[in-house]
Amino acid sequence: DQQVKQNSPSLSVQEGRISILNCDYTNSMFDYFLWYKKYPAEGPTFLISISSIKDKNEDGRFTVFLNKSAKHLSLHIVPSQPGDSAVYFCAASAGAQKLVFGQGTRLTINP
Amino acid sequence: DSGVTQTPKHLITATGQRVTLRCSPRSGDLSVYWYQQSLDQGLQFLIQYYNGEERAKGNILERFSAQQFPDLHSELNLSSLELGDSALYFCASSVGSSGNTGELFFGEGSRLTVL
């Protein structure tokens, strides 16, 4: 039962353009959502989060949007930079429960 | 550097064998989490310990076990290994017990290959 789904295994974007990574979830009890970024040979690192009481959270070039009615969240990166090339994991939690991760999307920024 | 240390980084072993993966959390973190990442899969939660006690259990096989010691380091024991156990095993730590605030700090992972 995949409660958090990232349906795009990979995404290629030109440098300077906007990267949009998508994530869908099925558990309506999820109330906290996060994005993690992972470089090769490193562990995932926390990028940005959003509580279910909000629909947008912005941190520099990164913005996360939450659409609760559609059970969908997205991460926007603008402008995209070569250093943004990594695997991005969406994660969600319900209350004090464990984080549930999606399968990840490999983002490649082309110069 | 997340401050979470995992050893070994790479491990190759045969089916039927037993291995132990070790994790040292960030200084001051009381919770340790173990995740498994198989090929093209997301991070699957295995188990969480908080201050020495098991706090939550995920999709952990009976052949796997873990513990957290008084000095807060943790070990994940994998026995009767099968080919399908080949994966990246991540340890993460957090200060509190809930671990849902985003502040999970991950180690670099231990890559296990079962031949």
Distance of alpha carbon A110 from alpha carbon A6, whole angstroms:
21
Give pLDDT tens digits for B71-80: 999 999 999 9
- What is the SS3 assignment for A49? strand
At B42, the pLDDT band (50, 70, 90 cuts) reads confident
Residues B18/B114, Cβ–Cβ less than 8 Å: no
pLDDT at position B2 is 84
Percent of chain A with pLDDT over 70: 97
Query: How many beta-carbon pairs under 8 angstroms link A with B?
Result: 65
- The two tokens of residue A96 are 């004090």
pLDDT reported for residue B101: 59
> What residue type is assigned to position B33 of the chain?
Y
The confidence score (pLDDT) of residue B100 equals: 53
> Which stretches of chain A sit within 8 Å of chain B by CB?
2, 4, 6, 9, 32, 34, 36, 41-46, 49, 89, 91, 93, 95-104
pLDDT number for residue B103: 75
Q: Is the pLDDT of residue A11 over 60?
A: yes
pLDDT average, residue stretch B99-113: 83
Angle at B2 between CA B99 and CA A38, to 5 degrees: 85
Extended beta strands in A3-85, E state:
4-5, 10-14, 19-25, 32-38, 45-51, 56-59, 62-67, 72-77
Q: Establish if B108 touches chain A: CB-CB under 8 angstroms.
A: yes
- Mean pLDDT on B2-17: 96
Q: Which of B44, B39, B42 is nearest to B112 (CA)?
A: B39
Asked whether residue B32 carries a pLDDT value surpassing 70, the answer given is yes
pLDDT at B98: 60
Kindly tell me if the per-residue pLDDT of A67 is higher than 70: yes
Chain A neighbors of B97, CB-CB under 8 A? 96
pLDDT digits (tens, 9 = 90+) for A21-62: 999 999 999 999 999 999 988 999 999 999 999 999 999 999
